Amino acid sequence: MKVILQQDFDGLGRIGDIVKVSDGYAFNFLIPRGIAMQAAESNVRQMEHLQRITESKRKTMLEAARVEADRINGTAVSLKRLAGEEDKLFGSVTNRDIAEALAAEGIEIDKRDIVLEEPIRTIGVYNVSVRIHADVEAKLKVYVIRE
């Protein structure tokens, strides 16, 4: 039996793929769980239509993410922190601090999208990655200066 996958499924394929499986597997597992539907002609046309709509939305979101990345790439933020000897900070600069500094610049970014392997603990200039979309990443310059 041929079925259309309605979601990604390991071992079978990706959403929208038409795959051939046994009748029992389709009727007893895939279809009841909403993972697949029968590959009838009307269902195939409906799935193709949904794929066109999804692809259009995906392109729009990708273009918006690229525009946002261009805006972030030209941005630098400065954070003032108290520091002791050898330019070590009292505390650290985290992705939350960077998100708040960006918000003050008028750029709203979720703190989880700012990629810091570990918090910044010394004074200096850092290049920080910002994940805007799965395929789009921006670089941000962060200046940590002595207060």
Specify the CATH number for the domain of residue 84: 3.10.430.100
Contact assessment for residue 44 and residue 56, using Cβ atoms and an 8 Å cutoff: no
For residues 73 and 50, membership in a common domain is answered with: no
For residues 74 and 52, membership in a common domain is answered with: no
Confidence of residue 13 (pLDDT cuts 50, 70, 90): confident
Q: Choose one of 47, 64, 81: the last residue of a domain.
A: 64
For residues 127 and 81, membership in a common domain is answered with: yes
| Rounded CA separation 131/51 (Å) | 25
Residue 5 has pLDDT above 90, yes or no: no
What are the start-end ranges of the E strands in the chain? 2-5, 18-20, 36-38, 76-81, 88-93, 114-115, 120-122, 124-133, 136-146
What pLDDT is attached to residue 49?
Answer: 86
Residue 128 has pLDDT above 90, yes or no: yes
Domain residues for the domain of 44 are: 2-64
For residues 108 and 125, membership in a common domain is answered with: yes
What pLDDT is attached to residue 44?
Answer: 82
Tokens of 116: 């810091």
Q: How many CB atoms lie within 10 A of CB 37?
A: 17
CATH number for the domain harbouring residue 59: 3.40.5.10
For residues 125 and 73, membership in a common domain is answered with: yes
Contact assessment for residue 51 and residue 59, using Cβ atoms and an 8 Å cutoff: no
Which residue in this structure is represented by tokens 């900070």? Answer: 89
H or E element that contains 55 = helix 41-73
For residues 11 and 75, membership in a common domain is answered with: no
**What's the pLDDT tens digit per position in 60-103?**
989 999 999 999 998 999 999 999 989 999 999 999 999 999 99
Is-above-0.85 flag for pTM? no
For residues 77 and 140, membership in a common domain is answered with: yes
Residue 42 has pLDDT above 90, yes or no: no
Number of structural domains found in the chain = 2
- Edge-to-edge strand list for the sheet holding 36-38: 18-20, 2-5, 36-38
